Structure 1
Amino acid sequence: MIFRKQFANVVEWEEFRDDMIFWKWSNREIKKGSRLIIRPGQDAIFLNSGRVEGIFKDEGDYDIESQIIPFLSTLKGFKFGFNSGMRAEVLFVNTKEFTVKWGTKNAIHIPHPQLPGGIPIRANGTFNVKVHDYVALIDKIAGIKEAYFVEDVKLRIVSALDQLLMKWISREGKDMFNLQANAFDIAKGIREDLDMIILKDGLTITGFNIISFNYPEEIQKMITKTASHSMVGDMGKYQQVEMVDGIASGRVKGGGAASDMVGMMMGMNVASEMMKQMNQDQKTASQKRPNFCPNCGTKTGEGNFCSNCGEKLI
């Protein structure tokens, strides 16, 4: 019994980190008396010459000779000799869903008819990823890597994001100055495309979220100004409002003539509104006046009282 323990070892995830997607136990012989330890949130995959021998998902402490080898596909007949051990690799996979923050490195220029260079937009948010297919994971990644991290997945996702953001913003972003209103539909389209990209590697994108879209400072100021005047997207009206506000506040030094012009414009606007109101009142009054006097039956004219009996008409 003492001699047997000298050859015993433990097969477990020795270098576990929260951001690890998988880690490979390899280049060692599994001796007689060895044990396999599977912790919560881990699966253990036995590999021999790159092929899957068995997948074990239940957490626990197992005797490899009696509890693991009988379930391996081609190694289940293996018998430990006096000095021989079993050559195999064990891939430990993290089964949890990872939440990863993302952000565009550079501004994405979205075409817009009123801005020749396009609208430079940045975005940020989160995505969720987890292992989906062990066979594909081993074939594409684990076959050549000893470990795989969340950062490795993030690099792949971010490298594809610029094109996907441009694609789905152009398709779903009806109002380029208020992309947040369409963020859900844009994110849904991006998630589906990203999932197709990494699905062949045995991973899946279970969620994609856009927290915010960010515009350059000058564009954001324009959006705020135009929104306050209900003129988003009308560059001509925005410029008129900006000019009037600038002169009135003293930010724009236009001299006496410019100030007089602003005053005249404001006066003309007030007079125009007054005339509109008077015309509306007259129209309303004419619609209420009866065609015949309700007291004597005389046909009415333009006055507010009957010309025959003096009855008030409105």
Structure 2
Amino acid sequence: MSFFRNQFANVVEWEEFRDDMIFWKWSNREIKKGSRLIIRPGQDAIFINNGKIEGIFHDEGDYNIASEIIPFLSTLKGFKFGFNSGMRVEVLFVNTKEFTVKWGTKSAIHIPTPQLPGGLPIRANGTFNFKVNDYVALIDKIAGVKESYFVDDIKLRMTSILDQLLMKWISKEGKDMFNLQANAFEIAQGIREDMDMQIINDGITITGFNVMSFNYPEEIQEMITRTASHSMVGDLQRYQQISMTDGIASGKVQGGGAASDMAGMMMGMNIANEMLKNMNKGKNTTDQPAPSAPPAQANNDESDNTDGGKQKPNFCPNCGTKTSGGNFCSNCGHKLV
């Protein structure tokens, strides 16, 4: 009799529950009359007989299996408990919540780019989300041969293909390799769709994928930062000049003291000259002074003291009075020309 007591269960429940468990299978025991089924929040209970789903129960609660569960099982609804006999079934408990997994590249991914023959080494990190969405596929592909399944199992499977997917979607045409964060959403959407296609046949779906950051090697990140900070200056030659000036001023380039002071002065002069050039370019040509008008033509009667080409005398020949430029003497009225 002790043998039968050990083989029968009074309570069917998720005995080894963990937050990172996707499912756990209650098996290798028979259910006797009077046994109870306990379903906790966030769990579904699936009764399986000979590999076939007999019934799925979603609502949390404490149920009497004989009176509240068996009547709803597809082929076992007529089962009658007999003396020392029980019902042998498996109960698969599934965690119904959406799981969040952190991911990160283990080593740098070398993205082909014309600027760097060996490829641009990039690391990335973020999160992805998944949940169980098809119990039939889950049992057929995974739960049929496993007693339990964990988040780490999914993470290991997804991260094994993540490097290839990152390379695929980063290398899409039109991406600025030195500003990938601007395209993070588009890259993440493409990766999510591809990951979902890889795992959806197992009854699991990828509900979200996010790229938190792209990380460049230190020297490349410094170059990106410097290029952005000096973008207002102009061409590469100008950038190199300022880089050298910065190096002297900071002491990284030999020549402190007076050399550093001279570097600072040169930088100030260069910036001032650049500002003046920009100001001159912005001036409108209409701001130039208008040409002066030609001088008005002098009166014929008074120009060069002439009349008809004859020179007027400086003194009146009749009375000797100094002339004033008129045609007649102002003292005696004598005609001067």
Normalised-by-shorter TM-score class: 0.7 to 0.9
Specify the code of the residue in structure 2 equivalent to 1:105.
K
What percentage of aligned pairs have identical amino acids? 78
Query: Equivalents in 2 of 1:190, 1:278: separation in Å?
Result: 49
> How far does residue 101 in structure 1 lie from its aligned partner after superposition?
0.9
Q: Does the alignment pair 1:178 with 2:179?
A: yes
Query: Equivalents in 2 of 1:80, 1:52: separation in Å?
Result: 20
Query: Equivalents in 1 of 2:197, 2:275: separation in Å?
Result: 62
**1:30-45 matches, cutoff 5 A:** 30-45=31-46
Specify the code of the residue in structure 1 equivalent to 2:45.
A
Specify the code of the residue in structure 1 equivalent to 2:223.
M
The answer to whether the 8 A contact 1:11-1:36 is kept is yes
Q: What is aligned with 1:287?
A: 286
**Cα distance, 1:221–1:56 mapped onto 2, change above 3 Å:** same
**Cα distance, 1:58–1:276 mapped onto 2, change above 3 Å:** closer
**Cα distance, 1:274–1:133 mapped onto 2, change above 3 Å:** closer
Q: Does the alignment pair 1:50 with 2:70?
A: no
**Cα distance, 1:236–1:161 mapped onto 2, change above 3 Å:** farther
Runs of 4+ residues deviating >6 angstroms:
234-237, 261-268
1:33-72 Cα shifts (integer Å, max 9, x gaps): 1111111110000011111111111111111111111111
1:191-214 Cα shifts (integer Å, max 9, x gaps): 111111110110011111111111
The answer to whether the 8 A contact 1:129-1:206 is kept is yes
Specify the code of the residue in structure 2 equivalent to 1:115.
L
1:224-254 Cα shifts (integer Å, max 9, x gaps): 11110128xx877655543343234331238
Q: Which has the larger radius of gyration?
A: 2
Q: What is aligned with 1:93?
A: 94
**Cα distance, 1:109–1:8 mapped onto 2, change above 3 Å:** closer
The answer to whether the 8 A contact 1:114-1:235 is kept is no
The answer to whether the 8 A contact 2:245-2:264 is kept is no
The answer to whether the 8 A contact 1:8-1:32 is kept is no
The answer to whether the 8 A contact 2:9-2:29 is kept is no
1:266-285 Cα shifts (integer Å, max 9, x gaps): 6995796588479658x74x
Query: Equivalents in 2 of 1:178, 1:79: separation in Å?
Result: 69
1:127-169 Cα shifts (integer Å, max 9, x gaps): 1111010000001110111000111111111111101111111
Specify the code of the residue in structure 2 equivalent to 1:77.
G
Query: Equivalents in 1 of 2:278, 2:12: separation in Å?
Result: 88
- Secondary structure of the equivalent of 1:33? strand
- Secondary structure of the equivalent of 1:34? strand
Q: Does the alignment pair 1:117 with 2:121?
A: no
The answer to whether the 8 A contact 1:173-1:182 is kept is no
**Cα distance, 1:25–1:181 mapped onto 2, change above 3 Å:** same
Number of aligned residues: 290
**Cα distance, 1:133–1:270 mapped onto 2, change above 3 Å:** closer
Specify the code of the residue in structure 2 equivalent to 1:287.
T
Q: What is aligned with 1:198?
A: 199
Specify the code of the residue in structure 2 equivalent to 1:131.
V
1:104-146 Cα shifts (integer Å, max 9, x gaps): 1111111121111111111111111110100000011101110
The answer to whether the 8 A contact 1:172-1:182 is kept is no
**Cα distance, 1:275–1:207 mapped onto 2, change above 3 Å:** closer
Q: What is aligned with 1:77?
A: 78
Query: Equivalents in 1 of 2:14, 2:97: separation in Å?
Result: 15
- The gaps in structure 2 that reach 5 residues or longer are 297-337
Q: What is aligned with 1:133?
A: 134
Query: Equivalents in 1 of 2:128, 2:149: separation in Å?
Result: 17
Query: Equivalents in 2 of 1:19, 1:65: separation in Å?
Result: 32
Query: Equivalents in 1 of 2:177, 2:164: separation in Å?
Result: 17
Q: What is aligned with 2:156?
A: 155
Q: Does the alignment pair 1:68 with 2:69?
A: yes
Specify the code of the residue in structure 1 equivalent to 2:208.
G
Query: Equivalents in 2 of 1:236, 1:165: separation in Å?
Result: 35
The answer to whether the 8 A contact 1:173-1:179 is kept is no
- Secondary structure of the equivalent of 1:58? coil
With normalisation by structure 2, the TM-score equals 0.76
